[in-house]
């Protein structure tokens, strides 16, 4: 099946620094990728939709200047958490569909656990 790779799997950073997380579709092209955040014991909350070649679409309540998303190619989307604070510590997961038109299963990356000290 389709594979989505996410890197890094774990990252620890100091408060105030920025962290970049990469999401790659390894064997298919993804014009759209999705970024989710998951706090402990909670479900996945959609943060934004990453669109290749255009600006990301953010969900209500998600700060676009804090969570910078870049989708420069059909196989790569990046999420940069800027000026990270301890409350940004979470499990960040990207996902993508292999099929166009918004149909078909969503494949997930392995997730990136961010800890901000």
Partner 1 sequence: GQNIDQPTEMTATEGAIVQINCTYQTSGFNGLFWYQQHAGEAPTFLSYNVLDGLEEKGRFSSFLSRSKGYSYLLLKELQMKDSASYLCAISSYNQGGKLIFGQGTELSVKP
Residues that bind partner 1 (CB under 8 A): 6, 32, 34, 36, 42-46, 49, 57, 91, 93, 95, 97, 101-111, 113
- Complex with partner 1: residue 62 or 82, whichever CB lies closer: 62
Residue 16 C-beta: closest distance to partner 1, Å: 27
Place of tokens 């000026």: 83
Residue 93 C-beta: closest distance to partner 1, Å: 5
Residue 105 per-residue DSSP state: P
Residue 46 C-beta: closest distance to partner 1, Å: 6
- Complex with partner 1: residue 16 or 39, whichever CB lies closer: 39
């Amino acid at each position: 099946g389709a594979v989505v790779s996410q890197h890094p799997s774990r990252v620890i950073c100091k408060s105030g620094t920025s962290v970049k997380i990469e999401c790659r579709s390894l064997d298919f092209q993804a014009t759209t990728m999705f970024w989710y955040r998951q706090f402990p014991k909670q479900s996945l909350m959609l943060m934004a939709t990453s669109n290749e070649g255009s600006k990301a679409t953010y969900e209500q309540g998600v700060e676009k200047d804090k969570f910078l998303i870049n989708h420069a190619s059909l196989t790569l989307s990046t999420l940069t958490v800027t000026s990270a604070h301890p409350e940004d510590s979470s499990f960040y997961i990207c996902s993508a569909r292999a099929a166009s038109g918004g149909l078909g299963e969503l494949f997930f990356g392995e997730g990136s656990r961010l800890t901000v000290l």
